[in-house]
A and B are shown apart, each in its own frame.
Chain A
Amino acid sequence: MTVRRAATAASLGLVLALGACTSFYEIPIETPIQPKLDVSSFRRVLVAGFIAGGTEDVDGNLETVRLLRSQLRSRSNMAVIEAEPLPLAEIAIENAGPAAAAPDAPAGTDGEPRIRSQQDLERYEHIFADVAYWKKLGEEYQEPLIVTGTILFSPHQRSGMVERTQEVQDQFGRRRTIPVRTYQEREGFILSPKFIFIDGRTGTTLYSESFREEVLYEANQNTPALSSYFELMDRLIPSFLSTLSTQRIRGTRVLLK
């Protein structure tokens, strides 16, 4: 069944259903989503930094810190601490000792460790379990809620058949759209962040959440990496914020008589 036929059938079904009901009213609602984490005991939040990897076109650590701080400033009740984003990958290597990362973690031209995959990231994740490190950081900033984690933002390619609609004219000159399947090479990005929330008083992890979003464009579109990064983060921000504060999701429902 084509998309158009399915849409027609769905519309017909809806009309029949509406006909069966005497009357109905569409009404806007705002559903409150309770936060996943109770942060009522924290008055301050520190978005400390992220272990970031993938493409070198976007500084995943810096951009994520900036974006999350900006969101938290406007959409949470906690005071957002302004501090330099931590170079967590380097700190993880230092804390692990000289033998831990040297052979497996090649450095980029600027000396920072090069992280290309999820496996590369895993080599640094021990830092999140370093309770003493986070507790010390918490003491420096008056025991805030600490937000940290990992960000992998990688280029991605996919080729295959894509269905799109095309406008055509029939023999009577009438315009209509038909579905057309074409082979297409597409490229884009995959964003895989893991947000970790740490209690700055104890250094322990309170909550963590992983996400994965991807976007694909036509190969000739040349969308800048930073633009794709923000497009993908936009999709995740509501879920991130709903960890810390009550969010209201707008929608519509139907009231019946």
Chain B
Amino acid sequence: MKLRTLVLAALFLGLLSPAAYADRRSDAKAQVDFGIKVAQRGLWKEAQYRWERAVELDPTYAAAWNNLAVAHEQQGQFDEARKAYQKALDLEPDNLLIQQNFDLFKEINDRTKSGNGG
């Protein structure tokens, strides 16, 4: 009886897990979409908040990490931007658009570190 309950529970969780994941991705996607809309209006803090929510909901969502990186960059938060870009590229290493964003970011970041201050 106990074994049967365990098997049923495992089956239930097995069925539930993809559904739960889909829900999380759907919620995260809604946050990402809203973030894009407000970013297009120049409301970067709100956009950042939305994309932070998105990566909390679904930490495997590369697009959300990419957008979060852009928001950090726009606000001069270079360390956070680098971490977010790297996370996005870890999740989707072949995504050329993320790579292109990251390359442009690195170019600016390198410029801030040039010179020989004395």
Binding site for B on A (CB under 8 A): 13-14, 17-18, 20-21, 24-25, 27, 29-34, 36-37, 205, 207-210, 239, 242-243, 249, 251, 253-257
Contacts and interface: CB of A to CB of B under 8 A. Distances in A.
B108 interface: yes
Interface in B46-105: 62-63, 66-67, 70, 73-76, 95-98, 100-101, 104
Given A13-B96, A208-B116, A239-B115, A255 B108 contact: no
Contacts of B112: 33-34, 36, 242
A17 B40 contact: no
B5 interface: no
Most chain A beta-carbon contacts within 10 A, residue among B33, B35, B111: B111
A13 B63 CA distance: 19
21 contacts: A14-B96, A21-B95, A29-B70, A32-B75, A33-B76, A36-B115, A36-B117, A208-B116, A208-B118, A209-B115, A209-B117, A210-B115, A239-B115, A242-B112, A254-B101, A255-B39, A256-B62, A256-B67, A256-B97, A256-B98, A257-B63
A256 B108 contact: no
Given A31-B108, A34-B112, A239-B111, 11 more contacts: A14-B96, A32-B76, A33-B112, A34-B76, A36-B117, A209-B117, A210-B115, A249-B108, A256-B32, A256-B63, A257-B63
Contacts, number: 86
A31 B97 contact: no
B115 A31 contact: no
Contact of B36 (A13, A25, A208): A25
A207 B98 contact: no
Given A13-B96, A257-B36, A33 B114 contact: no
